[in-house]
Amino acid sequence: RDLMPRTLEGQITMEKTPSYFVTKEAPARISSMSKGTKLIVVVRDPVTRAISDYTQTLSKKPDIPTFESLTFKNRTTGLIDTSWSAIQIGIYAKHLENWLLYFPSGQILFVSGERLISDPAGELGRVQDFLGLKRIITDKHFYFNKTKGFPCLKKAEGSSKPHCLGKTKGRTHPDIDQEVVQRLRDFYRPFNMKFYQMTGQDFGWD
């Protein structure tokens, strides 16, 4: 609470840390600070997420083992290594169970990472509604950057320049053995189905 800026009536204070969702202690701590906190979680296809996670690590440590070798505890039997964080993070249903012990589902909004790219204004419309804000951000605020593969804000507040995601985003993913990708799809399917049921949203990851 001490790290949060002072907020006037009618203002919203926001804070983002990607690791909150997968940190076991976070729900209880946030709940004890403020039970009324609204939570927003951006999720994407867990297979793509795992490959993206690996790509980011690879850019910092080029000598790490291949994605394929890190995915399996035993490649012959096809046993997935769920202790590897790149895999573990995408088991969204498991992490959500922990949050639902402390927060009602109506206080959590799940934003589709895929729809943030294909329809940023529509997805941000849901965010604005969830936060009780007037819908100010619309289609006219975005243009699609073909090089990055992401939408960019036409004009950032107080600046005449458009705002795009930084150079660490939109990296080209390495070619992954399609059989490994399929094994991962099969592995995540039951967890995804459970997540769809828990959130009442079908994210279409298959």
- Known binding residues are 44, 52, 169-173
Indicate the annotated binding residues for 3'-phosphoadenylyl sulfate.
44, 52, 169-173
Counting Cβ atoms within 10 Å, is residue 65 exposed (0-12), middle (13-18) or buried (19+)? Answer: exposed
Distance between start and end Cα atoms, the chain:
40
Neighbours of 150 (CB within 10 A): 16
Q: Let me know how many helices (H) and strands (E) the chain has, helices first.
A: 8, 6
Rounded Cα distance, 127 and 129, in Å: 5
Helix 46-60 with 178-199: angle, nearest 10 deg: 120
Rounded Cα distance, 135 and 131, in Å: 10
Residue pointed to by tokens 């985003």: 169
The count of residues in the chain is 206
User: What is the gyration radius of the CA atoms in the chain, in angstroms?
Assistant: 19
